[in-house]
Amino acid sequence: MDTSAQRLITAFPAAAPEHSSATEIAVARQEPVFAPILVRTRSTELGQNLDQIHQFEDAIEKYTDWKIVNGPPIPRRGWSLLIARLLTGAIGFVRSCLPWKSKKYYLSIGFLFPVGLRFKTCPYFDLPARFRILWTYDVWPSEEQKILESAESHDIKLIFASSRQGTDRLNEISNGRFECYWLPEAVELQHYRSKPMSERRIDVIQFGRCWRKYHDRIEEFCRNNGIVYRFAKCKGDVLLPKRAEFLEGLADSRISICVPSAITHPERSGDVSTMTWRYVESMASKCLVVGRAPLEMKYLFDYNPVIEIDMSRPGEQLVDLLNDLPRYQELIERNYDYVRRHHQWTNRIETMRQCFADFERRRQLAERD
pTM for the predicted model, two decimal places: 0.87
**How far from 151 is each of 34, 53, 113, 182, CA to CA, in Å?**
20, 19, 12, 17
CATH class for the region spanning 4-186+344-368: alpha beta
**pLDDT value of position 210:** 86
pLDDT per residue, tens digit, the chain (369 aa), is 444 444 443 334 333 333 333 333 333 444 557 899 999 998 766 555 688 999 999 999 999 999 999 988 756 555 556 666 666 666 565 555 665 568 899 999 987 666 678 788 888 888 889 889 999 998 999 889 989 988 988 889 999 999 999 999 999 999 889 999 999 999 999 999 999 999 999 999 998 788 999 999 999 999 999 999 999 876 667 788 888 999 999 999 999 999 999 999 898 899 999 999 999 999 999 999 999 999 999 999 999 999 999 999 999 999 999 999 999 999 999 999 999 999 999 999 999 999 999 998 888 888 786
Residues of the chain with CATH 3.40.50.2000: 189-342
End-to-end CA distance of the chain: 16
Contact criterion met (CB below 8 Å) for 267 and 246: no
CA distances from 136 to 56, 179, 217, 337 (A): 11, 13, 34, 26
- Taking the C-alpha atoms of residue 101 and residue 161, their distance in angstroms, rounded to an integer, is 28
As beta bridge partners, residue 15 has none
The helix/strand/coil state of 175 is coil
> What pLDDT is stored for residue 119 in this prediction?
80
Q: What class has domain 189-342? A: alpha beta
What's the confidence (pLDDT) of residue 95? Answer: 56
The one-letter amino acid code at 267 reads E
Output the CA–CA distances (angstroms, integers) from residue 232 to 182, 206, 207, 335, 356, in the order listed: 31, 8, 7, 26, 40
